[in-house]
Amino acid sequence: MIRYFSIALRRLLLRSASNSVLGFCLLPFAFLPQASAQQLPMHSLFVLNDLLVNPAIAGKNDYNLIKTNVRYQWVGISDAPRTFIISANIPYSPEKVGLGGYIFSDVAGPVTRTGINLAYSYHLNLGDELKLAMGLFVGMMQYKINGNEIILADEEERYLFEGMETAIVPDATFGVNFYTDDYHIGASFNQLFHSQIKQDLFDKSSESFGTLTNHLFIHGGYNFEVNSTWNIEPSVLVKIVSPVKPQVDLTTRLFYKAQLWLGVAYRSEDAVTVLVGFDLQERFQVGFAYDFTTSNLKKYSSGSNEIVIGYRFKTKKTKKKKGAPLI
Q: Are 146 and 164 in contact (CB under 8 A)?
A: yes
Distance CA 78, CA 87 (A): 28
Distance CA 13, CA 4 (A): 14
Distance CA 101, CA 51 (A): 8
Q: What is the pLDDT of residues 283-294, one digit of tens each?
A: 899 999 999 999
Neighbours of 129 (CB within 10 A): 11
Q: pTM of the predicted model, to two decimals? A: 0.82
Which CATH class for the 2-36+43-313 domain?
A: mainly beta
* Cα–Cα separations (whole angstroms), residue 64 to 89, 141, 298, 326: 6, 25, 39, 12
Q: Are 80 and 55 in contact (CB under 8 A)?
A: no
Which one, of 64, 23, 73, 69, lies nearest residue 45 by Cα? 69
Q: State residue 62's pLDDT score.
A: 83
Distance CA 88, CA 58 (A): 9
Q: State residue 14's pLDDT score.
A: 38
Distance CA 3, CA 173 (A): 29
Q: Are 251 and 48 in contact (CB under 8 A)?
A: no
Q: State residue 287's pLDDT score.
A: 97
Burial 136-149 (b: 16+ CB within 10 A, else e): bbbbebebebebee
Distance CA 144, CA 110 (A): 8
200 burial level (CB within 10 Å; 0-12, 13-18, 19+)? exposed
Distance CA 51, CA 178 (A): 14
Q: State residue 26's pLDDT score.
A: 43
The residues of the chain scoring below 70 in pLDDT are: 1-39, 94, 151-162, 198-209, 314-327
